[in-house]
Amino acid sequence: MPLVVIFLVALWAACMYFGFLYVFPIVCALTVVGATLTGAAHYHLRAGRVLLPATAGGLSPALPATAGERRDPVFRHYLFGQAGPDWWRIVSFAVPALWGTVRTVVGTLTRWLMSNVQGFFLLPVWLAVVVGTGVALIPLAAAATAVAGAYALVCGAGLLLWAASALLVRGVEGVFMLARRILQTCPHPQCYARFALPEYACPTCGERHRRLVPNRDGAFRHVCRCGTRLPTAIVLGRFRLQSYCPECDRALPHRIGRARIEPLPFVGGPDAGKTTFMVLAVNALNGVVKDARGRAGFVVRGDEVAFSRLRRELRLGKVSKTTTQAPSATMVDITLPGAKPRSGNRILYLFDPSGEGFTGAAQVEAMSYLTHGEAMLIVVDPFALPDVQRSLSDAERKVLKDAGVVLSPEDPSDTFQRVRNELAARADGGRQKRVAVVVTKADLLRRTAIGRDAAELPGWFDGVGLGNMVRELARTAGEVRYLASGLPADTAAIGRLVAWLTGLPVTERPAAANGTALRAVDADGFGSVDGDAPGPVGADRPEAVDADASGDTGGDNTGGGHPADKEELTMTDLRRPWSPGKRSPGVAPLSYRLFRWTLFAASLFLCAATLTLLVIRAWAILSGVTVY
């Protein structure tokens, strides 16, 4: 019996000696390698399941903003909305899986090797596995550091690229808006708001986007909840989307933000002829733009229909009276080829309220659009001036009555003063860059004794009680021009006047000699006559009078310029609407896919490189070779 014990003890000692001398290092090294590769494989298998699929769902679903969140219905930029959840989801999958594998392997080997008496002889093997598993934490930590470095590198580079792109786009857009002096306002009544950024509708699902600018939702594009990619700046095509006022939620004109909005209020009392002159002005401006090989069109169908009706009424000599005190702007979109971008594009807002809207301070105050622009058109009814009314003889009154002229009790000087008081509330004191003063019914006026020299504007105003208006305009306006408008309508002169008033760079040609005078007066009150006025207008032909009793009509427009019925203005969309492109439902945004694939590739590469370097270093140490 003692011999058996001695033999077993000797055998155990030999097993321990040779086991720890030869088996332990080999098994321990193999365990380290196996555990390290197993850990790396666990991580990258889980990472691949999270990062490689192109779908928005999966183990780490990419979710856009929900209806309850107070931000746009878009996917947040990957680095701000998805990178963190992806990382956490990978770690939460990989670490428990790796720990479970270690427990299973160690537990199984313990049962196999150490459960019976053979455990006394296989102790070096079991201990090698346990020690190797523990030592494997060192290369696994290095591999984890490499993976974290890959994430930090990709995310850091992505953040720098995002910041640079966002700043670049914002800077370019700011310079663009400043160079073109972009003004954005609402054309709708009870609003007339001025704003920096409209709302934009997704062309696919119609969802509204209030902050479609370079931000944490994306630098160049935002991805709508439906998957449509939307441009974040005017210079990237944002103007091609349908826009809405952020205050009243109503539609805005096409190309807003790309073309400057030019509000042009028509100021005048009751029956001054504002509507008639606006029809003439739109027709004349259309002709001027066509001659310059430009394009012009109404923004909405309703304006086209309304102007078609007004043109027909104008040809019949009776234009319907405006009854709305808070009008919706008539919007005309204009672009000129070869013109400077700053001045060759305009969206005109033509405001034509009823004359009664200017008879009280409260009504004028409600016209908040008066404070937005830098141009204004004042329509003066000469027969509303008290001095002119008092000077009329009975015969002249009869002629005017037969022509349908109503002597308005509203003094144009009072109308101007109310508007001036409203403009004075502005930060700049209501200074206007360009003001046009149009005297309507000039052909009828020249048939009266007091109006025979009415072509000498603005000097004629001094004798009829409007001298203070002339001097006030000379003081507060950068440039003032005067036009006497009668029959037949000089559409060339009207077209040049409106083009100048709205800042359009069209070539001015001499005015037709039909009795229309156009004066340009600078801020000091000195001016030069652009056209001559050789004699009375319309004295030898019947007059057609509109419901405003302006005496202005399109007639056959034989007074020079562009015929009213020549290529009449119609609705035109001067932009190319945004095309959402083809998209597959359920696919994650392109930026998500690119970032995820880059993260997976970078982590795989750096992990493999780190483990390779560790193997080379360990082999060098074991073999005694110095590695630099």
Domain locations in the chain as residue ranges: 2-64+78-176+591-623, 267-324+353-529
Q: Are 224 and 74 in contact (CB under 8 A)?
A: yes
pLDDT computed for residue 524 by the predictor: 33
Beta strands in 354-510 (DSSP E): 375-380, 432-439, 477-484
> How far is residue 543's CA from residue 76's CA, in Å, rounded to a whole number?
66
pLDDT computed for residue 504 by the predictor: 87
pLDDT computed for residue 110 by the predictor: 82
3-state helix, strand, coil in the chain (%, to 5): 45, 15, 40
Q: Are 556 and 311 in contact (CB under 8 A)?
A: no
The residues, any chain, with a CB within 8 Å of residue 285's CB and separated by 6 or more, are 296, 332, 334, 494, 495, 498, 499, 502, 504
**Entry pTM:** 0.79
pLDDT computed for residue 128 by the predictor: 86
DSSP 240: G
pLDDT computed for residue 327 by the predictor: 81
> How far is residue 408's CA from residue 381's CA, in Å, rounded to a whole number?
8
pLDDT computed for residue 325 by the predictor: 65
Beta strands in 199-244 (DSSP E): 199-201, 208-209, 221-224, 229-231, 243-244
Instruction: Tell me the mean pLDDT per 10 residues along the chain, length 628.
Output: 73 78 85 89 91 87 76 91 91 87 85 76 83 88 92 95 95 91 91 93 92 94 91 94 94 92 90 87 91 90 89 77 76 83 80 78 78 89 90 87 80 88 77 90 88 82 90 90 85 91 73 41 34 32 35 35 58 85 80 94 93 85 61
pLDDT computed for residue 1 by the predictor: 59
The residues, any chain, with a CB within 8 Å of residue 320's CB and separated by 6 or more, are 275, 309, 310, 313, 547
Residue 521 to residues 17, 458, 495, 544, 555: CA-CA distances in angstroms? 114, 9, 18, 31, 30
Give yes or no for a cis peptide into 458 (omega within 30° of 0). yes
Q: Are 279 and 554 in contact (CB under 8 A)?
A: yes
Phi, psi dihedral angles at 254 (to 5 degrees): -60, 155
> How far is residue 586's CA from residue 310's CA, in Å, rounded to a whole number?
52
The residue with tokens 């720098």 is: 160
DSSP 21: I
Q: Are 238 and 219 in contact (CB under 8 A)?
A: no
317: which 2 tokens?
């000599």
pLDDT computed for residue 107 by the predictor: 85
**Three-state DSSP class for 565?**
coil
pLDDT computed for residue 624 by the predictor: 66
pLDDT computed for residue 215 by the predictor: 94
pLDDT computed for residue 42 by the predictor: 87
> How far is residue 283's CA from residue 554's CA, in Å, rounded to a whole number?
9
